[in-house]
A and B are shown apart, each in its own frame.
Chain A
Amino acid sequence: MTTGPADGAAPPDAGPADGAWPAGATAQADTHGSADGAAPSVRRTSRRALLGFGGAAVAGAALGAGVAAPVAWQASSNAATPTDIVGFFGRYQAGIATPAPARLAFATYDLTVGGTLAQRQAALKALLQAWSLAAAAVTTGHPVPGDLTDPEAPPADTGEAYGSSPANLTITVGFGPSMFDDRFGLAGRRPGALADLPRLPPEDLDPARSGGDLCVQACSDDPVAAFHVIRNFARLGRGTVVMRWSQLGFGKATSNSANQPTPRNLMGFKDGTRNIDGADRAMMNAHVWVGGETDQPWMRDGSYLVVRRIRMRIEAWDRDFLADQQNVIGRHKYSGAPLTGAAEFDAPDFAAKDSHGEPVIPMDAHVRLVAHENAGGIRILRRGYSFTDGMIADSGELDAGLFFMAYQKDPRSQFVALQRRLGAADALNEYIEHVGSGLFACPPGLRGPGDYWGSGLIR
Chain B
Amino acid sequence: MHLNRWSRRVAGAAGLIAGLVAVAAGASACSSGSNGSPSAGATQVTITLTNDGCAPSPASMPAGPVTFTVKNTTGDKVSEAELKRGGTILGEKENLTPGLSGTFSLKVEAGDYTIECEGATTDSFPLHVTGGTAQAAADPAVAAKLNAAVAGYQTYVLAQADKLGPATTAFTDAVRGGDIAAAQRLYAPARSYYERIEPVAESFGDLDPDIDARAGDVEDPNAWTGFHRIEKALWQDKSLDGMTPVANQLDADVAKLVALVKTAKYQPAQLANGATELLNEVASSKITGEEDRYSHTDLSDFEANVDGAKQAFMLLGPALQTVDPQLYTTVTQRFADVEDALTAYRGDYAGSGYVDYSTVTEAQRRVLTQKVDALAEPLSQVAAKVAG
Verify A152–B34 contact, CB threshold 8 A: no
CB proximity of A14 to chain B, nearest CB, Å: 9
Asked, given contacts A114-B337, A152-B269, A154-B381, whether A163 binds B374 with beta carbons under 8 Å apart, the answer is no
How far apart sit A254 and B241, CA to CA, in the bound complex (Å)?
66
With CB as the reference atom, state the residue of chain B lying closest to A156: B381
Residues of A within 8 A of B42 (CB): 151
Q: Is B35 an interface residue when CB atoms closer than 8 A count as contact?
A: yes
Verify A7–B23 contact, CB threshold 8 A: no
CB proximity of A207 to chain B, nearest CB, Å: 11
Residues of B within 8 A of A4 (CB): 40
Q: Which of A373-408 contact B (CB under 8 A)?
A: none
Which of these, A150, A235, A238, contacts B384 with CB under 8 Å? Answer: A150
How far apart sit A239 and B107, CA to CA, in the bound complex (Å)?
31
Verify B37–A152 contact, CB threshold 8 A: no
Which of these, B39, B377, B383, contacts A7 with CB under 8 Å? Answer: B39
Residues of A within 8 A of B337 (CB): 114
Q: Is A57 an interface residue when CB atoms closer than 8 A count as contact?
A: no
Q: Is B65 an interface residue when CB atoms closer than 8 A count as contact?
A: yes
Verify A235–B377 contact, CB threshold 8 A: yes
Q: Which of A1-26 contact B (CB under 8 A)?
A: 1-2, 4, 6-11
Residues of A within 8 A of B123 (CB): none
Residues of A within 8 A of B370 (CB): 112, 242
Asked, given contacts A154-B380, A239-B374, A242-B370, whether A149 binds B39 with beta carbons under 8 Å apart, the answer is yes
Contact bitstring B358-388, A, C-beta under 8 A = 1, else 0:
0000000000001001110110110111010
CB proximity of B86 to chain A, nearest CB, Å: 23
Q: Which of A97-151 contact B (CB under 8 A)?
A: 112, 114, 147, 149-151
Verify B39–A10 contact, CB threshold 8 A: no
Interface class of chain A by DSSP? loop
Residues of B within 8 A of A11 (CB): 34
How far apart sit A298 and B281, CA to CA, in the bound complex (Å)?
44
Q: Is B21 an interface residue when CB atoms closer than 8 A count as contact?
A: yes
Q: Is B38 an interface residue when CB atoms closer than 8 A count as contact?
A: yes
With CB as the reference atom, state the residue of chain B lying closest to A114: B337
Verify A238–B377 contact, CB threshold 8 A: yes
How far apart sit A51 and B334, CA to CA, in the bound complex (Å)?
44
Verify A1–B380 contact, CB threshold 8 A: no
Verify A9–B381 contact, CB threshold 8 A: no
Asked, given contacts A8-B34, A238-B374, whether A152 binds B387 with beta carbons under 8 Å apart, the answer is yes
Q: Is B121 an interface residue when CB atoms closer than 8 A count as contact?
A: no
Which of these, B35, B40, B330, contacts A2 with CB under 8 Å? Answer: B40
CB proximity of A454 to chain B, nearest CB, Å: 22
With CB as the reference atom, state the residue of chain A lying closest to B37: A8
Residues of B within 8 A of A163 (CB): 35
Residues of B within 8 A of A6 (CB): 37
Number of interface residues of A (CB under 8 A): 24
How far apart sit A2 and B65, CA to CA, in the bound complex (Å)?
11
Residues of A within 8 A of B384 (CB): 1, 147, 150, 152-153
How far apart sit A325 and B107, CA to CA, in the bound complex (Å)?
67
CB proximity of B65 to chain A, nearest CB, Å: 6
Q: Is A317 an interface residue when CB atoms closer than 8 A count as contact?
A: no
Q: Is B168 an interface residue when CB atoms closer than 8 A count as contact?
A: no
Residues of A within 8 A of B107 (CB): 151-152
Contact bitstring B308-346, A, C-beta under 8 A = 1, else 0:
000000000000000000000010001001000000000
With CB as the reference atom, state the residue of chain A lying closest to B378: A239
With CB as the reference atom, state the residue of chain A lying closest to B105: A151
How far apart sit A10 and B36, CA to CA, in the bound complex (Å)?
10
With CB as the reference atom, state the residue of chain A lying closest to B386: A152
Residues of A within 8 A of B38 (CB): 7, 151
Residues of B within 8 A of A235 (CB): 377
Which of these, B34, B65, B269, B375, contacts A10 with CB under 8 Å? Answer: B34
Q: Is B24 an interface residue when CB atoms closer than 8 A count as contact?
A: yes
Q: Is A162 an interface residue when CB atoms closer than 8 A count as contact?
A: yes
Verify B35–A9 contact, CB threshold 8 A: yes
Residues of B within 8 A of A154 (CB): 380-381
Contact bitstring B25-54, A, C-beta under 8 A = 1, else 0:
000000000110111111000000000000
Verify A150–B374 contact, CB threshold 8 A: no
CB proximity of A119 to chain B, nearest CB, Å: 10
CB proximity of B168 to chain A, nearest CB, Å: 34
Contact bitstring A147-184, B, C-beta under 8 A = 1, else 0:
10111111000000011000000000000000000000
Residues of A within 8 A of B330 (CB): 239
Contact bitstring B262-283, A, C-beta under 8 A = 1, else 0:
0000000100000000000000
How far apart sit A9 and B337, CA to CA, in the bound complex (Å)?
37
How far apart sit A7 and B105, CA to CA, in the bound complex (Å)?
15
Verify A7–B24 contact, CB threshold 8 A: no
How far apart sit A239 and B373, CA to CA, in the bound complex (Å)?
8
How far apart sit A147 and B40, CA to CA, in the bound complex (Å)?
13
CB proximity of A244 to chain B, nearest CB, Å: 11
How far apart sit A69 and B225, CA to CA, in the bound complex (Å)?
63
Residues of B within 8 A of A7 (CB): 37-40
How far apart sit A235 and B375, CA to CA, in the bound complex (Å)?
11
Q: Which of A75-104 contact B (CB under 8 A)?
A: none
How far apart sit A6 and B41, CA to CA, in the bound complex (Å)?
11
Residues of B within 8 A of A152 (CB): 21, 23-24, 107, 269, 383-384, 387
Residues of B within 8 A of A162 (CB): 35
Residues of A within 8 A of B383 (CB): 152-153
How far apart sit A7 and B41, CA to CA, in the bound complex (Å)?
9
Pick the most buried of B39, B370, B375, B383: most chain A CB atoms within 10 A of its CB: B39
How far apart sit A162 and B373, CA to CA, in the bound complex (Å)?
24
Residues of B within 8 A of A238 (CB): 373-374, 377-378
Residues of B within 8 A of A239 (CB): 330, 334, 374-375, 377-378
With CB as the reference atom, state the residue of chain B lying closest to A242: B370
Verify A1–B387 contact, CB threshold 8 A: yes
CB proximity of A163 to chain B, nearest CB, Å: 7
With CB as the reference atom, state the residue of chain B lying closest to A159: B35
Residues of A within 8 A of B24 (CB): 151-152
Residues of A within 8 A of B34 (CB): 8-11
How far apart sit A4 and B105, CA to CA, in the bound complex (Å)?
18
Verify B37–A9 contact, CB threshold 8 A: yes
How far apart sit A2 and B35, CA to CA, in the bound complex (Å)?
16
Residues of A within 8 A of B39 (CB): 2, 7, 9, 149-151
How far apart sit A11 and B370, CA to CA, in the bound complex (Å)?
35
With CB as the reference atom, state the residue of chain A lying closest to B385: A1
How far apart sit A239 and B336, CA to CA, in the bound complex (Å)?
12
CB proximity of B372 to chain A, nearest CB, Å: 10
Residues of B within 8 A of A153 (CB): 380-381, 383-384
How far apart sit A1 and B337, CA to CA, in the bound complex (Å)?
30
Show 5 A/B contacts (Cβ-Cβ < 8 Å), sorted by A.
A2-B41, A11-B34, A151-B42, A152-B23, A153-B383
Top 4 A-B pairs, shortest CB-CB distance: A153-B384, A239-B374, A238-B377, A7-B40
7 other contacts beyond A2-B39, A153-B384, A238-B378, with CB at 8 A cut-off?
A1-B385, A2-B40, A2-B41, A7-B38, A8-B34, A152-B383, A238-B377
